[in-house]
């Protein structure tokens, strides 16, 4: 059973928006249960060279993220598209954990977001 002592894992899907990703993760880190919440971050790959540089910057930031129970970053070498990324990522985490919260890189949460 998932409770405040065993929070639901978060799946965050990112692409090439560094500023949005920073804002989303900073808001999540302010959650009361962030330090006991596992987070899976799915970083989609580029469609072209311009996006490759933007995605590199996002991934550099992701490597520095702290403040959660665990952080797993799943990086795609090529672009999967949002729908395929979400279906694949959700399927993987559901198989591992049984439940999850899906987020994209443009959402801001309140400090109570992770509480039951």
Q: Which CATH number fits domain 10-104: 2.60.40, 1.20.120, 3.40.50, 1.10.1660?
A: 3.40.50
Q: Show Cβ contacts of residue 60 under 8 Å, excluding neighbours closer than 6 positions.
A: none
Task: Give the number of C-alpha atoms closer than 13 A to the C-alpha of residue 72, restricted to the C-beta side.
Answer: 12
Could you read off the pLDDT of 92-115 as tens digits, one per residue? 999 999 999 999 999 999 999 988
Kindly report the pTM of this predicted structure.
0.93
Could you read off the pLDDT of 59-73 as tens digits, one per residue? 999 999 999 999 999
What is the band of 7 on the pLDDT scale with cuts at 50, 70, 90?
Answer: confident
For the chain, the domains span: 10-104
């Amino acid at each position: 059973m998932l409770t405040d002592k065993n929070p639901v894992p978060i799946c965050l899907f990112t692409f090439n928006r560094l500023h949005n990703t920073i804002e989303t993760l900073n808001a999540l880190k302010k959650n009361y249960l962030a330090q006991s919440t596992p987070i899976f971050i799915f970083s989609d790959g580029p469609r072209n060279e311009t996006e490759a540089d933007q995605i590199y910057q996002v991934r550099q930031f992701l490597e520095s993220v702290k403040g959660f129970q665990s952080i797993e970053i799943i990086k795609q070498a090529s672009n999967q598209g949002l729908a395929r990324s979400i279906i694949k990522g959700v399927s993987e985490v559901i198989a591992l954990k049984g439940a999850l919260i899906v987020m994209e890189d443009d959402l801001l949460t309140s400090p109570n977001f992770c509480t039951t």
